[in-house]
């Protein structure tokens, strides 16, 4: 049990690093909105001169967005469990699986006129594709505003209207939040890792007006947008609501919860005493993943944060 828990903890830490990495270098200035939005074009001279007609998406979110904007434009995607039962992608070739690097031969064989990658994860394959003269685009979604900006950018690249999708996003958010609980989201136990306001999860908590106790904290965590907390810090903050994240690989939320129950501080927390501890999926809360995953996370946040 301990070994399986450790493996799952390492898996989620690695996944966050891959998705939320912000240290990748690019040579062109990045487009930013309120210092949180980035839709990066690593080489503006290589973008399609007109509307892209054959798009390969190296991230599940960009594949989902392109498909919803114009399903005829997507010709290759990264393999993801989010799409296993999605009929839209049944016959679309996979150029990678899970966290494996994309197969560049498969990408080139699809003759794309645009390849979309995720910054911090796709930089190396994107650079190689650029060397082959294939138009590319790097995106990063670490806030709600960046989700909207990336959607607009992708829509422009294929000459599609982003407004219906942007309108759908608005329905995910609460209209008039009436309560605001002090909240702690945990993605691992050793170390105790929590999102601050510079992560997708942290920004989402802001949108729901949750009092994220880690929002303004900074630290030396190797994961951008996340901070490590001591047991003493958690006990001092004493959150009303605790959110545990289900790792992307496996189903180990029970092991995580069981490990926390063994900690002396755990039973002293008001969230534990009041049974306000909830489990969320990794996709949607930590990694946006897909539009449906985001919607599901938002619905769960409404239930958790606005419950009587």
Q: What does the pLDDT look like over 104-147, one tens digit per residue?
A: 999 999 999 999 999 988 899 999 999 999 999 999 999 999 99
Does 135 share its domain with 6?
no
> In terms of residue numbers, what domain contains 156?
31-172
Does 37 share its domain with 153?
yes
Does 286 share its domain with 215?
yes
Considering 152, 172, 192, which residue would you say is the last residue of a domain?
172
Over range 159-164, report the average pLDDT: 97
**CATH number, residue 290:** 3.40.50.1980
Those residues whose C-beta lies under 8 Å from the C-beta of residue 238, and which sit 6 or more positions away, are: 182, 268, 269, 270
Query: Rounded to a whole number, what is the distance in angstroms from the first to the last CA of the chain?
Result: 36
Look at residue 20 and tell me if it is in a domain: no
Any alpha helices (H) in the chain, and if so which ranges?
2-20, 60-69, 104-109, 123-131, 144-157, 163-172, 200-207, 231-237, 253-261, 270-273, 282-285, 291-305
Does 75 share its domain with 190?
no
Does 48 share its domain with 140?
yes
pLDDT value for 213? 93
Alpha-carbon span 184 to 277, nearest angstrom: 10
Top pLDDT among 137 and 44 is at: 137
Over range 156-183, report the average pLDDT: 90
Q: Strand 38-40 to strand 136-140: parallel, antiparallel, or no bridges (unpaired)?
A: antiparallel
Does 72 share its domain with 93?
yes
Does 165 share its domain with 178?
no
Does 118 share its domain with 241?
no
Helix-strand-coil split of the chain, %, nearest 5: 40, 20, 40
Does 282 share its domain with 271?
yes
Over range 211-237, report the average pLDDT: 87
Grade residue 283 by pLDDT with cuts at 50, 70 and 90.
Answer: very high
Report the domain count for the chain.
Answer: 2
């Amino acid at each position: 049990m301990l070994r399986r828990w450790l493996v799952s903890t390492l898996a989620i830490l690695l996944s966050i690093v891959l998705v939320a990495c912000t240290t990748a270098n690019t040579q062109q200035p990045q487009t930013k909105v309120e210092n949180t939005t980035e839709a990066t074009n690593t080489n503006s001279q290589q973008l399609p001169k007109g509307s892209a007609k054959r798009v390969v998406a190296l991230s599940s979110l960009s594949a989902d967005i392109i498909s919803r904007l114009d399903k005829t434009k997507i010709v290759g995607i990264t393999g993801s469990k989010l799409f296993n039962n999605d009929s839209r992608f049944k016959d679309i070739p996979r150029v990678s699986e899970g966290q494996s690097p994309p197969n560049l031969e498969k990408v080139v064989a699809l003759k794309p006129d645009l390849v979309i990658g995720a910054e911090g994860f796709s930089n190396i394959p994107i650079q190689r594709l650029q060397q082959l003269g294939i138009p590319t685009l790097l995106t990063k979604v670490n806030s709600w505003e960046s989700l909207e900006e990336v959607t607009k950018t992708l829509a422009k690249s294929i000459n599609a209207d982003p407004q219906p999708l942007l309108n759908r996003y608005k329905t995910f958010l609460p209209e008039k939040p009436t309560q605001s609980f002090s909240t702690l989201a945990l993605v691992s136990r050793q170390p105790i890792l929590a999102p601050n306001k510079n992560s997708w999860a942290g920004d989402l908590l802001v949108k729901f007006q949750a009092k994220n106790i880690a929002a303004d904290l900074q630290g030396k965590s190797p994961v951008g947008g996340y901070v490590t907390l001591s047991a003493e810090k958690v006990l001092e903050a004493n959150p009303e609501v605790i959110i545990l994240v289900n790792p992307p690989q496996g189903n180990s939320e029970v092991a995580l919860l069981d490990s926390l129950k063994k900690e002396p501080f755990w039973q002293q927390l008001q969230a534990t005493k009041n049974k306000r501890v909830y489990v969320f999926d990794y996709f949607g809360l930590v990694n946006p993943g897909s539009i449906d995953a985001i919607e599901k996370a938002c619905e769960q946040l409404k239930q958790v944060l606005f419950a009587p």
